[in-house]
Amino acid sequence: MAQQITTQSVIELDDAWGAHNYHPLPVVIAEAEGAWVTDVEGRRYLDFLSGYSALNFGHRHPALIAAAHEQLDRLTLTSRAFHNDRFGAFCRDLAALTGTEMVLTMNTGAEAVESAIKVARKWAYEVKGVAFDSAEIIVATNNFHGRTTTIVSFSDDPAAHDNYGPFTPGFITVPYGDAQAVRDAMGPNTAAVLMEPIQGEAGVVVPPEGFWSDVRQACDENNVLLVADEIQSGLARTGKLFALDHENVRADLYTLGKALGGGIIPVSAVVGRRDVLGVLKPGQHGSTFGGYPVAAAVGHAVVDLLSTGEFQERATELGHHLHKRLGELIGQGVAEVRGRGLWAGVDIDPAAKTGREVSMALRDQGVLCKETHERTLRMAPPLVITADEIDHAVDALAAALDA
């Protein structure tokens, strides 16, 4: 007979059988719709994390669920050994949406970043003429680009990096937001600059104004590719399609993921210049599931949602509201608020509580979000949220800081 499912019984099961590589809040979600989730005991919570921006369109957006269902009833996987009737149209419309010329499909964000690194290196050897095996990629302090061995090779977060060596060489780290340091790090072997336009995991860190146009200029002058990791910042989160759009800067390659799969399946991509992605020839890179028919169907429906501009507008307008309301808490237990659009890093006053304590108190108030590092809450509600729901969450934060 099935045992009754309770929060406690699920947590015990997870702890007993799942690897302990996460430290979840003690809440067990069983159902969700839009901006709301329901736990196994019937309690409802406002989702203020959105799966780290994988759920930009909310839980189970009807258009995305319909696209997935329709595809599941017709064709799921072909591998790229054969053509299928979904792939090309998805790539065409994703390129049109992003103003790019070519699309390389993968599954997870980390794979998109890995792919961009491989393409940048190949471009450096075959097009730029960098000496074999000596290409360099400039990255930032406090970066987060995923969890593969190569990617953690250039992470300076000890938890992400330590004891996973030997590491992949070829990366140069400079302080995030320092354009002169990026320029100074460039040499004849530099293939690319790879950075997040706004650093998510680091606590929603926005670089100084002018940083991106200065980096773009340094890249142009030194024949270096600019690779923007928009996996978390992109696809309407900040109020524009790309966070880089706020600076009127174009990257040569963009990595996309998270929201591209509509919160349903993992879909990622590298999009960008044809003369750069064009270095890949048959057999030189790939993925069994990359761009498979279900991914193409869901990704295409995501592209359709983003084409209307509605979500970008919501993120802009509601983002102003969120930041105005959060600003009122500065000095009331909040030390600093950063971010853009519906994305905020909220530093808790060190004299008040830890991020974990505030996350727990917020859960008790019916709002789910998660700390990043000791003292920062990352807030990223689904873009379908309403102004009233934002007020509800900020009031809950005020109460949580008081509790």
Ligand X SMILES: *Cc1c(COP(=O)(O)O)cnc(C)c1O
Beta carbon of residue 235, minimum distance to ligand X (angstroms, whole number) = 12
By CB under 6 A, tell whether 145 contacts ligand X: yes
By CB under 6 A, tell whether 110 contacts ligand X: yes
By CB under 6 A, tell whether 142 contacts ligand X: no
Exactly one of 113, 140, 228, 276 binds ligand X (CB under 6 A); which one? 113
Measured CA distances, 400 to 100, 335, 395 (Å)? 44, 15, 9
By CB under 6 A, tell whether 345 contacts ligand X: no
Exactly one of 45, 57, 123, 144 binds ligand X (CB under 6 A); which one? 144
By CB under 6 A, tell whether 232 contacts ligand X: yes
Q: Which stretch binds ligand X (CB under 6 A): 24-32, 40-48, 224-232, 272-280?
A: 224-232
Minimum CB distance to ligand X smaller for 143 or for 190: 143
Active site (catalytic) residues: 144, 229, 258
* Beta-sheet pairing, 136-140 with 190-195: parallel
Assign residue 50 a region (left: φ > 0; alpha: ψ between -120 and 50; beta: otherwise): left
Residue nearest to ligand X (CB): 109
Q: Which stretch binds ligand X (CB under 6 A): 73-81, 117-125, 225-233, 283-291?
A: 225-233
Minimum CB distance to ligand X smaller for 108 or for 312: 108
Minimum CB distance to ligand X smaller for 56 or for 232: 232
By CB under 6 A, tell whether 109 contacts ligand X: yes
Exactly one of 196, 252, 371, 389 binds ligand X (CB under 6 A); which one? 196
Asked whether the bond before 166 is cis by omega within 30 degrees of 0, the reply is yes
Beta carbon of residue 313, minimum distance to ligand X (angstroms, whole number) = 23
**Phi and psi angles of residue 174, each rounded to the nearest 5 degrees, phi first:** -125, 160
Residues 252 to 311 in contact with ligand X, rule: CB under 6 A? 257-258
How many residues touch ligand X (CB under 6 A)?
15
The residue assigned the tokens 């009737």 is: 85
By CB under 6 A, tell whether 231 contacts ligand X: yes
Residues engaged in binding ligand X (CB under 6 A): 52, 108-110, 113, 144-146, 196, 200, 229, 231-232, 257-258
